[in-house]
Structure 1
Amino acid sequence: MTKRHFDFRLYARKFLYFATILASLILIADITIVDLPNIQKNLDVEPTRLQFWICIYFIIDFILLMLIAEDKMAYFKKYFILLPLSIPYSNLLAYYSIDLTSEAVYFLKFIPIFRGVFALILLINLVISNRITGLFIAYLSIFISITYIQTLVFFLTESPVNPEVKNYYDVLWWASMTVTTLGSNIIPVTSIGKVSTAIVAITGITIFPIFTVYITTMIQDWKTKEKEQAKMAVLLAKGGSDQSAIATATATPPTPSTPSQ
C-alpha cells in the first residue's frame, strides 16, 4: 500500500485562506452591526479594535503565505495588491490625527472586505477541481462582494439626503431591483449614489449571462456523461454475449457412448 505524501504547503494555504474568509465574515458582520447604525445617527467615524486586529491578521497572513511559497519573490510580485487591501486605514488616521471627510474614512474602512474575496477565490482554486464550477463560484463571490460594497456606499451617501432611504433594508431593496435590471423606485440624488446604481446594474447584467452559461454547460456535461455511460453499458453487454458465444463454440463436445454388443 502506497503512503500519501503530506503536502504541508498545500494544507497551510488552505487553512490560512479559510481563516481569512472567516475573519472577513466577522469584519462584514462588524461593519453591518456597528457602522451602519452609526452612519444613520451621525457620520462621526469611530475605529474599532476588532477591525484593526482583523487587518493586522490579514498582513500576518500575507507574510506567512509568502514564507511558505516556493518562490517568495514571485509570490510577492503576484499578490502585492493584497497588502494595500489589508491596512487598517481608519485606525491609522485616528492615531495620527489626520482629518478626512467622514465619507472618505468610511470608504477606507470598507476596503479590507476585498481581501476576504481574494482569499475565497484562491481557496476555490485549491479545493474545487472542476474549473468551470470554480470559475462560476469565483464570479459569484465577486458579484456578491461588489453588490454588498455598493449597498454600503449607497447607504452612506444617500441616507442623509434622500428621503426614500430610511434604513438599510431600503438599500437592500434598491440593490435587488437594480441588479436584476428591473429598476427601483428609489432614485439616487447624489453623484456617488448614481455611480453606485450604474455599477450594480452593470454587475447584474454581467453575472446573469454567466449563470445561464454555467447551467447550460452543466446540463450538457450531464447529458454527455449519460450518453457515454449508456454506450459503455451496451459495449459491455455486447462483449459479454460475444464471450459467451465463444465459450460455447470452443467448449469440448461430450464423448459419445459406445453401443453395447
Structure 2
Amino acid sequence: MPQTLFSQDRLSRTLGAVKALAGLVLLAAVSWEVIGGDRLRFSPLFLGVQFIVCLIFLCDFFVRWAAAERKGRFFFRNLPFLLLSVPYLNLMLWSGAEPSRSVGMLIGLMPLLRAFLAMVIVTGWLVGNKVRRLLTAYVFTVVVFTYISALVFYDYELPVNPKLHGFGNALWWAWMNVTTVGAEIFPVTAVGKVFCVLLPSLGMMFFPIFTTYVLQEYAPSKTKDE
C-alpha cells in the first residue's frame, strides 16, 4: 500500500511538471501571437502549439483517471479541468467556423487557465512551509495573472484605445491596477473594463495574505526573544 501511494505521488508530480512546462510553452506562444502576430487571423504556429499542449493536458487527465481508485468521483471532481483542456479553437477552425479575433482569443485562452493551475500546483510543491507555500502560490498568481491581463488588454484595446501605444503601456497599466494605484489609460472595451475591476480586487487580496506571512514568520521569534 505505501509503495502504491508512493508511485501515485511520483506519477502526479511527474505529470504536474510536464503540465507546467507545457503551460510555459503555451504562455510564450500566446505572448508571441498577441504582441507580434497577425491581428486578422491566428498563426499556424500558435494553433499547433495550443493543440499539442491540449493533447498533453487531455493525456494527463485520462492517465490519472485510469490510475484513480474511485474513477467516478475523480471524473466529476476533475471535470472542469477536462473541459479546460479541450482545444476548442482548433476544433472550430477545423469545422469551418471562423470566429472573430476577439472571440477566438478568449476561446484560445481557455487552455491557458488549465496551464496556470498546473503551474500554481508545481510552485506550491517547491516550498515546504504551509504559509510560505500560500504566499508563493499567491505571488505567482498575481504575477502571471497580471501578465495575462496585460496581454488581453493589449489585444482588445490596441485597435480602439488612442492612449495605448504598445505592449509596454499595457503591462504598465496592468501593474498599476493590481497595486490599486490606477493608470491614466482607461479601458474602452467591455473586456478591458472587466480586467480593470479584477486586477485591483486581486491586489487587495494580497495584503492580508502578506500580513499573515509576516506574523507567522516573525511573531514566534519575537516572543522567544522576550
TM-score bucket of the superposed structures, by smaller chain: 0.7 to 0.9
Aligned-residue offset at 1:127: 5.6
The root-mean-square deviation of aligned C-alpha atoms, in Å, is 2.3
Conserved 8 A contact 2:124-2:136: no
Unaligned runs of 5+ in 2: none
Deviates more, 1:179-188 or 1:215-224: 215-224
1:192 is matched by which residue type in structure 2?
V
Distance verdict in 2 for CA 1:84–1:221, change over 3 Å: farther
1:199 is matched by which residue type in structure 2?
L
Give the TM-score, by structure 1 length: 0.77
Unaligned runs of 5+ in 1: 232-261
Conserved 8 A contact 1:114-1:145: no
Which residue of structure 2 lines up, in the alignment, with residue 248 of structure 1?
A: none
Give the TM-score, by structure 2 length: 0.88
Which residue of structure 1 lines up, in the alignment, with residue 104 of structure 2?
A: 105
Q: Distance in 1 between matches of 2:70 and 2:120?
A: 20
1:143 is matched by which residue type in structure 2?
V
Which residue of structure 2 lines up, in the alignment, with residue 141 of structure 1?
A: 140
Q: Deviations over 1:66-114 (max 9, x none)?
A: 2222322222121111011111121111100113221010111111111
Structure 1 residue matching 2:204: 3-state secondary structure: helix
Which residue of structure 1 lines up, in the alignment, with residue 7 of structure 2?
A: 8
Is 1:43 aligned to residue 40 of structure 2? yes
Q: Deviations over 1:135-162 (max 9, x none)?
A: 2233233333332332222111110011
- Structure 2 matches for 1:48-127, cutoff 5 A? 48-123=47-122
Q: Distance in 2 between matches of 1:134 and 1:220?
A: 18
Conserved 8 A contact 1:154-1:171: yes
2:129 is matched by which residue type in structure 1?
N
Conserved 8 A contact 1:136-1:214: yes
Distance verdict in 2 for CA 1:137–1:67, change over 3 Å: farther
Structure 2 residue matching 1:187: 3-state secondary structure: coil
Structure 1 residue matching 2:104: 3-state secondary structure: helix
Q: Distance in 1 between matches of 2:190 and 2:33?
A: 26
Conserved 8 A contact 1:154-1:192: yes
How many positions carry a matched residue from both structures? 222
Deviates more, 1:200-209 or 1:134-143: 134-143
Which runs of at least 4 in structure 1 moved beyond 6 Å after TM superposition? none
Distance verdict in 2 for CA 1:121–1:66, change over 3 Å: farther
Q: Distance in 1 between matches of 2:123 and 2:220?
A: 21
Conserved 8 A contact 2:154-2:167: yes
Q: Deviations over 1:213-260 (max 9, x none)?
A: 212321124445xx2xx89xxxxxxxxxxxxxxxxxxxxxxxxxxxxx
Distance verdict in 2 for CA 1:75–1:123, change over 3 Å: farther
Conserved 8 A contact 2:150-2:171: yes
Structure 2 residue matching 1:120: 3-state secondary structure: helix
Point out the structure with max Rg over C-alpha: 1
Conserved 8 A contact 1:43-1:103: no
Aligned-residue offset at 1:122: 3.6
Q: Distance in 2 between matches of 1:124 and 1:166?
A: 34
Is 1:153 aligned to residue 179 of structure 2? no
Identical amino acids, percent of aligned pairs: 31
